[in-house]
């Protein structure tokens, strides 16, 4: 526990002056061990309150507090559990329901031309802000779906418009190449997947039944890929980041993957178990650490210096904008 002293933490001055206190290297969620970015914890970063810190589930949804917790647990080599929990959450967000797949997508078709550029600029923004890449992945996935829908439309319009389609494809490719600059390795995989998906739909006949089947296989493929990503990274005994999971839970997941059946709830039980492990073990130590005491002091100072009229933000899921890291 003495190691945590390496993390240089100074209290935020109550005068409201930005303290350039922390030079920390924080591992980014999706590129876990390589992508190190250093941040300064400023007064604006205090998106968390005393309550956030004292409640593990709130803490896990607050980006800043969570990153510090991950950093802390990294020192005692128990960060793999937190990362697993987060990525399992991400899996659920990215999950494409297989059966209701095309119904849910129909309304989105109309918005497609507007959505596309926005999502690209979003990605750019996200990159600049160094906000976690999972969001990028989500956008990509939306795009992926959209691309497929586009494909479909074109096929229905007939073969004589092949020329324009090619042009569009080129555009897509350009976007794709933009995307591939993203640091996330899984984004490449997504693109590959979508490319193969296009191929399939091109070869198949224009009967709508088949297309639906293609879409659902595509969705199933994507879910499977995401599930395998987590499985290989955190669950297989060969993995460096293997989590401390009950053997039965592991076998259940393994069986489901082997039988090609990926329900939304596939990681639920393991996530629960790991949450318990984090709660009982790492979180308890985090709470008794000096880092934690420092964070508490920060929130107190912050509350004092802020006028009492300012409402305390409750932690929200997807609070993308709440974390502003200054460089």
Partner 1 sequence: MCMRKETTPESVISRKIDYEIKKDSQTLSTMKLLLLGGGESGKSTIFKQIISFQDENTKKEYTPSTDSITKNIFTNILTSIQTLINSLSLYQLEFTNDSDKKASERVLSVCEQLENINQSIFQAIAVDIKALWANEHIQSIFNNPKRLYLINDSSEYFFSNIDRFLSSSFKPNQTDFLRVRVKTTGIIEADFTVETVPFKIIDVGGQKNQRRKWIHCFQNITCVLFVTSLNDYDTVLEEDGATSRFSDSLGIFTEMVNSQWFLQSAFVLFLNKVDLFKEKIKKVPLNQHLTDFQGRNDSYNECSTFIKDKFITANKNPSKFVYHHFTCALDSQAIEVVFKSIQDTLLSDIVSVL
Q: Binding residues for partner 1, per CB under 8 A?
A: 1-3, 73, 76-78, 81, 237, 240, 242-248, 251, 272, 275-282, 284-285, 288
C-beta of 73 vs 175, nearer to partner 1: 73
Q: How far is the CB of 35 from partner 1 (least distance, A)?
A: 21
C-beta of 95 vs 250, nearer to partner 1: 250
Distance CA 130, CA 117 (A): 20
Instruction: Give Cβ neighbours of residue 324 (< 8 Å, ≥ 6 apart).
Output: 44, 45, 129
Q: How far is the CB of 27 from partner 1 (least distance, A)?
A: 15
Residue 26: strand pairing partners: 37
Tokens of 240: 């460096």
Distance CA 94, CA 100 (A): 15
Q: How far is the CB of 277 from partner 1 (least distance, A)?
A: 6
Q: How far is the CB of 60 from partner 1 (least distance, A)?
A: 12
DSSP H or E segment with residue 25: strand 24-27
C-beta of 5 vs 321, nearer to partner 1: 5
Surface-to-core class of residue 207, CB atoms within 10 Å of its CB (0-12 exposed, 13-18 middle, 19+ buried):
exposed
Q: How far is the CB of 111 from partner 1 (least distance, A)?
A: 38
C-beta of 23 vs 236, nearer to partner 1: 236
Distance CA 281, CA 300 (A): 26
C-beta of 34 vs 280, nearer to partner 1: 280
Instruction: Give Cβ neighbours of residue 288 (< 8 Å, ≥ 6 apart).
Output: none
Per-residue H/E/C for 218-269: HHHHHHHHHHHHHHHHHHCCCCCCCCCCCHHHHHHHHHHHHCCCCCCCCCHH
Q: How far is the CB of 229 from partner 1 (least distance, A)?
A: 18
3-class DSSP state for residue 268? Answer: helix
Check: CB of residue 141 under 8 Å from CB of residue 222. yes
C-beta of 247 vs 327, nearer to partner 1: 247
Check: CB of residue 41 under 8 Å from CB of residue 326. no
Q: How far is the CB of 70 from partner 1 (least distance, A)?
A: 12
Residue of 96, 204, 206 lying closest to 153 (CA atoms): 206
Q: How far is the CB of 253 from partner 1 (least distance, A)?
A: 14
Q: How far is the CB of 88 from partner 1 (least distance, A)?
A: 15
| DSSP letters for 150-217 | HHHHHHHH-GGGHHHHHHHHHHHHHHHHHHTTSS-HHHHHHHHHHHHHHHHHHHS-S-HHHHHHHHHH
C-beta of 288 vs 314, nearer to partner 1: 288
C-beta of 192 vs 272, nearer to partner 1: 272
Summary count for the chain: helices (H), strands (E)? 13, 2
């Amino acid at each position: 526990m003495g190691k945590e002293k390496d993390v240089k933490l100074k209290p935020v001055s109550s005068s409201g002056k930005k303290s350039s206190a922390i030079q920390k290297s924080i591992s980014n969620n999706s590129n876990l061990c390589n992508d190190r970015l250093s941040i300064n914890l400023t007064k604006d970063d205090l998106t968390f309150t005393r309550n956030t810190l004292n409640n593990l589930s709130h803490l896990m949804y607050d980006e800043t507090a969570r990153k510090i917790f991950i950093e802390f647990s990294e020192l005692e080599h128990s960060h793999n559990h937190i990362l697993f929990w987060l990525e399992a959450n991400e899996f659920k967000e990215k999950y494409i329901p297989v059966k209701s797949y095309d119904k849910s997508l129909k309304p989105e078709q109309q918005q497609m031309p507007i959505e596309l550029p926005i999502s690209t600029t979003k990605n750019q923004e996200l990159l600049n802000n160094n906000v976690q890449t999972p969001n990028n992945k989500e956008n990509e996935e939306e795009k992926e779906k959209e691309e497929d829908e586009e494909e479909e439309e074109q096929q229905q319009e007939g073969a004589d418009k092949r020329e324009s389609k090619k042009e569009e494809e080129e555009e897509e490719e350009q976007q794709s190449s933009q995307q591939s600059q993203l640091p996330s390795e899984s984004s490449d995989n997504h693109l590959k997947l979508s490319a193969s998906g296009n191929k399939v739909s091109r070869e198949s006949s224009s009967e709508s039944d088949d297309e639906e089947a293609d879409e659902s296989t595509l969705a199933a493929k994507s879910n499977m890929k995401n599930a395998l990503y987590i499985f290989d990274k955190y669950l297989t005994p060969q993995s460096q980041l293997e989590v401390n999971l009950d053997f039965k839970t592991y076998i259940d997941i393994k069986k489901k993957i082997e039988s090609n059946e990926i329900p939304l709830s596939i990681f639920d039980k393991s996530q629960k178990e790991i949450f318990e492990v984090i709660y009982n073990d790492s979180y308890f130590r985090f709470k008794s650490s000096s880092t934690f005491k420092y964070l508490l002091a920060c929130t107190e100072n912050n509350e004092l210096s802020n006028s009492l009229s300012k409402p305390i933000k409750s932690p929200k899921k997807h609070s993308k904008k709440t974390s502003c890291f200054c460089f």
